[in-house]
Amino acid sequence: MLVLGMLKLVVSGTAQSKASGRWKLVLPLRFLGSSPCRIPADDSFHSTSLSETEPPRVFITGGLGQLGIGLAGLLRRRFGKENVILSDIKKPPAHVFHSGPFIYANILDYKKLREIVVNHRISWIFHYSALLSAVGEANVALARDVNITGLHNILDVAAEFNMRLFVPSTIGAFGATSPRNPAPDLCIQRPRTIYGVSKVHAELMGEYYYYRYGLDFRCLRYPGIISAESQPGGGTTDYAVQIFHDAAKKGTFECNLKASTRLPMMYISDCLRASLEVMEAPAERLSMRTYNISAMSFTPEELARAIVKHIPDFQITYCVDPLRQAIAESWPMKLDDNNARMDWGWKHDFDLPQLVATMLTFYGASTRCAQAN
Residues tagged active-site:
195
C-alpha 33/C-alpha 156 separation (Å) is 7
C-alpha 125/C-alpha 85 separation (Å) is 10
Amino acid letter, residue 8:
K
Kindly report the number of other CB atoms within 10 A of residue 27's CB atom: 16
Kindly report the number of other CB atoms within 10 A of residue 9's CB atom: 12
Q: Enumerate long-range contacts of 353-361, CB under 8 Å, 24 or more apart.
A: 353/306, 354/267, 355/226, 355/265, 355/267, 355/296, 356/244, 356/303, 356/306, 356/307, 356/309, 356/310, 357/310, 358/228, 358/267, 359/226, 359/228, 359/244, 360/244, 360/247, 360/248, 360/307, 360/310, 360/311
305: left (phi over 0), alpha (psi -120 to 50) or beta: alpha
Residue 265 sits at φ, ψ, to 5 deg, of -135, 165
358: left (phi over 0), alpha (psi -120 to 50) or beta: alpha
End-to-end CA distance of the chain: 79
